Structure 1
Amino acid sequence: DVAARFRSYGWNVIEPGDVANDCDALETVLAAARDHRGAPTLVMLRTHIGFPSPEMTDKHEAHGNPFNAELVSSAKKVMGIPDEPFFAPKELVDAYREHCATKGAQLWSAFGVHDWQKNFGAISHGELTAALPVFDADTKLATRQAFQKVLEATGSVMPFVLAGAADLTGNTGAKLASTSGYSASHRAGKQIYYGIREHAMGAAMVGMALHGGILPVGGTFFVFADYMRPSIRLAALSKARCVFVFSHDSVGVGEDGPTHQPVEQLASLRAIPGLQVIRPADANETAHAWLAAATFDGPTAIILSRQTVPALTDGSAVAPGAAVLHAVAKPQATLIGTGSEVSVALDAAKLLEKEGILVNVVSMPSWDRFSRLDSQQQDAILPRSLPRISVEAGTTFGWAAFASQSVGIDRFGASAPGALVMEKLGITASHVAAVAKSAITS
């Protein structure tokens, strides 16, 4: 009982009966819905698919099959209109165009263009850069924790940010601790508690972004991105500038086990056209990921770790999508890391150096940003003349575009402490070093 279900939510439900083809009745119903205050309105119309076609009314074929010329002609005969393409009475078309032009001009003149429309909901690259926190070399934070610090540090220059999470506010970093919750009675709040509603959260974020004036930020565990995929896809399709924050980004989640350990999610988000995906290595890359997201013309997914990671970078790899973090004079290979595995790649380079094997290490937080570089710029970071070994705690699917060999996880995880799961599944410096040696000598 759909009507009863929505009434139980507190909605205003209108059931006008079989009036779907009565324009005057529809106008009355829609006016009542428009004028109702205090709750959203659901209008439940009873319709007949294929109406008024004599051949197709109430037949499921009308849903997916286009009407051929004969079906169009018979429907027009029932409607009493001339059987000619795109017929509309001239007097109706003229009246409609005149009304729209006149009324539109009046409304636009009365509305005007206000300063808040020009400025609210946007920030310059320079202004936000100046507000970003810089984390020193002694910093050890999970990138989800770093994200909250970045969000709060830039709050004064970004009053239009509206943060929220799907029942995991304290865990994802998508939180403005200094503010209170937004509600119907407290419109000044800047935190939304969405509850266990990932898809609804994503849909609301897309709506707010397309309305304008707001930069919505919403967080949940990375594995739950699957619950909100239609909203993420719609954000990319419509270029909605919103920021999806996904924490607990790998098998490093630990004891929650494979049901909560993302493996294929990162590759699946990278496959969505127009979605900017950034997996920062440390706190400084997290700050620059926020900069990239806030100034991007479209949606961004920021992928964050559960576990603590050391500060290894200055964040500069985010803008180009990748940068050399550790360089040697005559490298024999390049190790490529993302997120928490950048530290694994650096440790592997140290092991190799002890054996007289010198390698560069690249932090690659964003495939899509790197892919926008020209071939010469890409080759300066990842020379194709050298073996290129990627290390990432997720599926290796897609890495062939950048790496000649990949260390990853092409299976589901396991329930054990995060560090142990990483070790057992080969996300270790020794394993990366062994793969690199094999690539160099083969």
Structure 2
Amino acid sequence: YGWHTALVKDGTDLEAIDTAIETAKVSGKPSLIEVKTVIGYGSPNKQGTNAVHGAPLGAEEAAATRKALAWDYAPFEIPEEVYEDYRVNVAERGKAAYDAWEKLVEEYKQAYPDLADEVSAIIAGKDPVEIKPEDFPVKETGLSQATRNSSQDALNAAAKVLPTFLGGSADLAHSNMTYIKEDGLQDDAHRLNRNIQFGVREFAMGTILNGMALHGGLRVYGGTFFVFSDYVKAAVRLSALQGLPVTYVFTHDSIAVGEDGPTHEPIEHLAGLRAIPNLNVLRPADARETQAAWYLALKSQTTPTALVLTRQNLTVEARTDFDKVAKGAYVVYETANGFDTILLASGSEVNLAVATAKELEVQGEKVRVVSVPSTDIFDAQDAAYKEEILPNAVRRRVAIEMAATQSWYKYVGLDGAVIGIDKFGASAPAAKVMEEYGFTVAHVVEVVKNLK
């Protein structure tokens, strides 16, 4: 893969380590230096054992180690010559490099003032151009489009505005719809292209994205199937822990993938990601909500985003609202004569909830439908807004989501119901699987009718 590699067989051989580093510097390639070491080296009785991995040596063994290493200094005493060596070989060298860099930057500012301002803003973590809602294409009511396709439209619109926006997929770009159409693939000969081939390496993709975000100045994203979020999850967690605004694009989000079967049908994945602190999980209901989800992701400064998207087409509802997605949940349908029942849903199930509400209305029921693109964002709203959307007095509540059920009981309570999936999926045509698992208007109507 074009790497320079080196092996140092003895981790105490400083000359060998130095030689490996100096050789790497002039190789012209990225370098991996493997250094063989002995854990706890110098400890007469514990080196090479797990005893030095998770516990201190103890006073007696520490004294024996100092003796074995001929270290004649008291604990925490640092010899003056060590300080002096650090000052000369590290501090002064670092200052010289810093001064040279500052001189180069100043010369650049003088020669290219406008570009210098842009570079300074990018390095400071500011987008060189502000993305706006109107930068995204209009999605009319009634449009039928898979949210993975809506996502592709949104990210390509963003790519036209933000020159620092780039990303790719773990070998699934044409399934995840993560390709920036106006650019080619990034490689040695085309370094400015913004489509990255991460390969079949979900975790590596996540760590690369984290590294790019840590550098600063870049808006980065990566995609894979939602069921494979398990493979990248450790990197997602570190995005959240470090406050990095990485965007993860997860497609094929439910049992609606049908014939692919249970190995490719996410069940517990939504609940697992929602449990990660400082991660915004957004499962949009249609093209309009998908654009809003991307907008929120691109405006985030310290929180990563997981976009959970469908393979199947979804219809743009009349009242889905770009701006209200920023609240995490909002009303998308309500019967004319008020409501005494609330249906909550995310993603593809919002279409089902609205269709059910219309059927219940015909039967004389009074229903409100709440789209919940993000439980994380909704939970962060103030009490007044939560009461506005989910009045405490209305206890007849049903949540609908093609995933594990535990995310929803905090909203429906013990007197409500959750139509979800707490077992693995099945292989069959998507419509058949959804029918078997109860995601039909008839079944939702039945559940509502059985509530008091």
Pair in the same fold by TM > 0.5: yes
Structure 2 residue identity aligned to 1:302: L
Structure 2: distance between partners of 1:351 and 1:327:
12
Offset of 1:290 from its aligned partner? 0.5
TM superposition shift of 1:301: 0.7
Q: How does 1:191-230 map to 2 (within 5 A)?
A: 191-230=195-234
Matched, 1:433 2:438: no
Query: Is this contact kept in 2: 1:269–1:277, CA < 8 A?
Result: yes
Q: Compute the displacement of 1:161 (Å).
A: 1.2
**1:255-279: CA deviation from partner (whole Å, max 9, x where unpaired):** 1111111111111111111221100
Separation (CA, whole Å) in 2 of partners of 1:257 and 1:154: 34
Aligned partners of 1:183 and 1:384: how far apart in 2? 56
Tell me, in whole angstroms, the C-alpha distance in 1 between the residues paired with 2:95 and 2:321. Answer: 51
The letter for the 1-side match of 2:191 is R
RMSD: 2.1
Question: Residue 120 of structure 2: which of 114, 117, 125 is its match?
Answer: 117
Question: What amino acid does structure 1 have at the position aligned with 2:136?
Answer: L
Q: Deviations over 1:185-244 (max 9, x none)?
A: 211211112222222222211111111222221111111111222221222222222111
Q: Distance in 1 between matches of 2:382 and 2:443?
A: 32
Stretch deviating more after TM superposition (193-202 or 123-132)? 123-132
| Equivalent residue in structure 2 for 1:76, among 51, 63, 66 | 66
Partner amino acid, structure 2, of 1:371 = D
* Unaligned runs of at least 5 residues, structure 2: 106-115
Report how many residues are paired.
Answer: 430
Matched, 1:407 2:419: yes
Identity %: 40
Distance in 1 (CA, whole Å) between partners of 2:314 and 2:283 is 13
Structure 1 CA distance for aligned equivalents of residues 227 and 168 of structure 2: 17
- Alignment correspondent of 1:366: 374
Please name the residue that 2:8 is paired with. Answer: 16
Q: 1:385 and 2:393 equivalent?
A: yes
- Structure 2: distance between partners of 1:106 and 1:34: 19
In the alignment, the residues of structure 2 paired with residue 247 and residue 66 of structure 1 have an alpha-carbon distance, to the nearest angstrom, of 47
Aligned counterpart for 1:344 among listed residues 331, 338, 352: 352
Query: Aligned-pair distance for 1:399?
Result: 1.5
Aligned residue for 2:145, secondary structure, equals: strand
Equivalent-residue separation in structure 2 for 1:400 and 1:86 (angstroms): 54
Amino acid at match of 1:163: G
- 1:46 corresponds in structure 2 to 36
The AA in structure 2 aligned to 1:343 is N
Cα distance, 1:163–1:355 mapped onto 2, change above 3 Å: same
In the aligned structure 1, how far is the partner of 2:445 from the partner of 2:64?
Answer: 74
Structure 1 residues 360 and 98, CA gap change in structure 2 (3 angstroms): farther
Structure 1 pair 90/378, CA: closer, same or farther in 2 (3 Å)? farther
Per the alignment, in what secondary structure is the counterpart of residue 223 of structure 1? helix
Measured in 2, the distance between the counterparts of 1:322 and 1:103 equals: 55
Deviation at 1:432, TM superposition (A): 1.8
Report what 2:308 is aligned to: 303
Contact 1:128 1:154 in 2 (8 A): no
More moved, 183-192 vs 42-51: 42-51
**How far is 1:102 from its partner?**
4.6
Q: Which moved more, 1:189-198 or 1:295-304?
A: 189-198
Q: Cα offset for 1:105?
A: 4.5
- Structure 2 length as normaliser, TM-score? 0.89
Contact map agreement 1:256 1:415 (CA 8 A) in 2: yes
Q: Residues 388 and 99 (structure 1 numbering): CA distance in 2 closer, same or farther, change over 3 Å?
A: farther
Q: CA 1:10/1:94 → structure 2, altered by over 3 Å: closer, same or farther?
A: closer
1:317 is paired with a residue of what secondary structure? Answer: helix
1:415 partner SS: coil
2:322 corresponds in structure 1 to: 315
Q: Are the counterparts in 1 of residues 131 and 162 from structure 2 also a CA contact under 8 Å?
A: no
Q: CA deviation at 1:44?
A: 2.3
Which among 262, 266, 271 is matched to residue 262 of structure 1? 266
Unaligned runs of 5+ in 1: 1-8
